[in-house]
A and B are shown apart, each in its own frame.
Chain A
Amino acid sequence: MQFGQSTRPGGYAPATMDDRRLIFVSGKGGVGKSAVTAALALRAARRGERVLAIGMVDSLGLAAHFGVDALEYEPHQVHTGVDAVAIDRTKALDEYLRLQLHLPKAAPIGQASKVFQVFVDIAPGVREIISMGKPIFETWQGTYDKVIVDAPPLGQLFSYLRAPATIAQTVPTGAVQDQALRMRDTLGDPTTSALVLVTLAEELPVMETAEALDDLAKEPVIDLAALAVNRVLSPLGIAPSVVDDLAPGPQREAANLHENLFADQQPWLAMLPAGPRLPYLFGFLTPGEVAARLVDHWEAAS
C-alpha cells in the first residue's frame, strides 16, 4: 500500500485548525467520528467561541456524544457555547429552494418541493449540495464563530464535497451556478474551511483513509487539517518475558491480549502520517464522557 505520494511532509497536525470557521469531520463508519466532532465542538466552546455542531446524515451518534437523545431540526443549545442541529432533508430542500428563488420564508413552495424531492434522490450531486448548503450558509451568515460538521462517512464524503463543483458544471443557469461556485470556493479556501479525518490503526480504516488522501491530492476540494487516529493503545509497559512467566489465568490472558493488540496497531500507525493520536478509552463511559475526555487528549496532541 502506498501512503507516500499524497501525504504532506510533516503530517497533519491540527496546529492551523483553530482559525478555521467551517470544519468537516469524517472517517470510515465506526471509527468514532461523531465523538471527535463533539470533542472539537466542546474544545472550541472552551476557548470562548460560539459553536454550531451539525449532524449531516445520521445525527444520533452526535446527539449521544452531547448527552441528548436526538438533535432537533432547529439549532438548540446542547452545552455551554454549543448549539447543535440535525439536517432534515425536506427542510434543507425548502431552504435551498427559497434561497435559489429568493422567496420569503412563508411563501408556499410545497408542490415544487415535492417534484424536487424525487429528483433530489437520484440526480447526481443534488441531494449532496442541498445537505452541504446548511453548513456553508451558516458559515456565510456568521451567527456562529465556528461550524463543526459530523460529515457523511468516507464512502460518501467525496460526493458531498464535490457536489458544488459538480452542480456548477451541470446546471447551466446563472444564479444556481453562481451560488454553487461560491460554495465551492468557500470549501476550497484553506483559511476558512478544513477537513478532519479520523481513523483506527486497523486494515480497513487505514486503507480507506489512504484512498481518501489520494482523492484529495487529485482533487483538492478542501484542505485536510488533521488526521487523527482513534483508540490507540499504549504499550503494556513490562517485558514480554514477565508476562510469559505468569501463571495461566485472566491476568495473563489480559496482558497477552493487550500486547498482541498493541503489536497489531504498530504497522498501521507507522504507515499513517503524523497527527493526533487519541487513546483507547476503557470501561464504563457515557458517550458524553468520551467526548469530554477526547478534548483533553486532543489538546495534549496539538
Chain B
Amino acid sequence: MSPRPRSRSLLVTGAGGVGKTTISAALGIAAAGAGVRTLVLTVDPARRLADALGVEHLGNDPTPVQGAPRLWAAMLDVTASWEAIIHRHTDPEVAERLEDNAFFRAIADRFPAAQAYAAGEQLAEYLEAGAWELVIVDTPPAGGGIDFYQAPGQMRELVGGRILRVLTGAGLPGRRALYRITARPVLRVADNVLGGALLQEFTEFLMDLRTLYDGLARRATNIEEYLRASTSLVVTTANPTPLREARRFFEELEAIASVPAAVVFNRALPNDWTRKDLDLGRDLGADRASTVLRDNFRRWAAEARRQREAREEFAAHFKVPLATVPWAEHPPTTLDALAGLMDVSSGLPDHALVIPPK
C-alpha cells in the first residue's frame, strides 16, 4: 500500500532571481497567520531572508520560525537527503561504497535532477509526517521549474540500468559482465579516449546504483503522485529571461502536472501609472525640479506599460489567473515586511493558501 499524504502542498516555481523564496515565505506567513500549520521548504534563500526565517544553516529538519506561530521552515540539504535516500534503498555496504564514489558525489552535487529529486523526497517525507496542514516548496529553479516535476522520472531512468545495458550489452548484468567490456569493439573506442580504468570504475558504480532501483522507483512514483496533486504557482517578473522560462513551464507542464492556480508577476509597477488620461504636467511647473519629476515619471510609466502588456498577454495566452506583487521599495527581509507583501498583492487565489473547511 502506498503512503498517503495527510496535508496539502503548494509548489512555488519559476526562474532564478524572480523572488520565489520571498513569495514562498510571504505565503507561509499568511497561511500560518490564517491558522494553518505551515512548513516552508526553501532551496537557496538570500542571507537576510534566511535570517528572517531563522534558517541559518542547511537542514532538512523543520524548525519553528520565531515570531510566527504555526510556521516552520527548512532549508534543503541535498547531500544529506541523498545519503538518506541510498541508506533507505540499499544495504549498508553498497550505500557506503556509493557515498565514497566520485561519480555519485558528482551526481548529488551538481546533477540538477538530483537536487530536484531531493526536494521531492523531502516534500514526500513532510507530507507523510502529517505534522503540517500545508507544505510550501520553494522549488529549485533549474529549467524554470520543469526539472522539479521531471526529476523523479529522470532519477528512475538513471538508476534503472539503461546506461548499464548500453555499456555491457547485457540484460541485467552481474559483476561478471564487466569482464566482457573490453571485448566489445565500441568500448575499445571508449577505452582509447577515456582509459579502461575509468570506464570500469564507471560501470561498477552503475551496478551499485542499480541496487537502489526497486526502492527508488516506487518512491519516485509516490513523489510524482504528490506533485500532480499539489497546487502550484508560477512566479516571474516581466523581464524577458524569466518570462521565457515561465512560458516554457506552461507549454511543457500539461503533460506532467496540474495547471497552476495563478501566474504571479513580482516587482509589478502600479497599473494606475499606465492611465492614458494622466496629465503629467498638471501639478508641475517648468522649473528644473518639475522637469526632473516629469522625466522620472515618464520613464517609470513606460516601464509600467511594458510590464502591463507582458502580464496581460501572458495571462490571456495561457488562460491563467493573474496575480501581482508590487515592486517593494526595499527588499522585504523581516517577518513584518514579508507579511505586508501579501497585503499589497492582488489576485492571489485564496485556495492556494488556506485549507478549505472540512
Contacts and interface: CB of A to CB of B under 8 A. Distances in A.
B47 A203 contact: yes
Interface stretch (B29-37, B116-124, B170-178, B192-200): B192-200
A287 interface: yes
A159 interface: yes
A282 B293 contact: no
A100 B195 CA distance: 13
Pairs A-B, 4 closest by C-beta atoms:
A283-B302, A30-B17, A260-B329, A282-B299
A159 B289 CA distance: 51
Interface of B: 15-18, 46-48, 102-103, 106-107, 110-111, 141, 158, 162-163, 166-167, 186-187, 189-190, 192-195, 197-198, 202, 239-242, 244, 269-270, 272-273, 278, 280, 283-284, 288-289, 292-294, 296-297, 299-303, 305-306, 327, 329-331
A251 B103 CA distance: 58
A251 B331 contact: no
Contacts of A284: 302, 305-306
A254 B244 contact: no
Nearest to A34: B241
Contacts of B327: 257, 261
Give the secondary structure class of B's interface. Answer: helix
Contact of B303 (A60, A203, A246, A282): A282
Interface string A229-258: 000000011100011001101110111111
Given A29-B141, A122-B158, A250-B273, A159 B193 contact: no
Given A118-B166, A122-B107, A173 B195 contact: yes
A270 interface: no
Nearest to B187: A115
Which among A114, A123, A256 has the highest number of chain B CB atoms within 10 Å?
A123
Contact of B202 (A114, A123, A246): A123
A274 interface: no
A256 B293 CA distance: 10
Given A173-B193, A176-B193, A254 B16 contact: no
Interface in A145-196: 153, 156, 159, 170-173, 176
Interface in A244-302: 246-247, 249-251, 253-258, 260-261, 264, 282-284, 287
The majority secondary structure among interface residues of chain A is helix
B240 A64 contact: yes
Interface of A: 28-31, 34, 60-61, 64, 97, 100-101, 109, 111-112, 114-116, 118-119, 122-124, 153, 156, 159, 170-173, 176, 202-205, 207, 236-238, 242-243, 246-247, 249-251, 253-258, 260-261, 264, 282-284, 287
A173 to B, nearest CB: 5
Contact of B190 (A116, A207, A238): A116
A20 to B, nearest CB: 26
Given A29-B16, A115-B186, A123 B192 contact: no
A282 B46 contact: no
B44 to A, nearest CB: 9
A170 B107 contact: no
B306 A250 contact: no
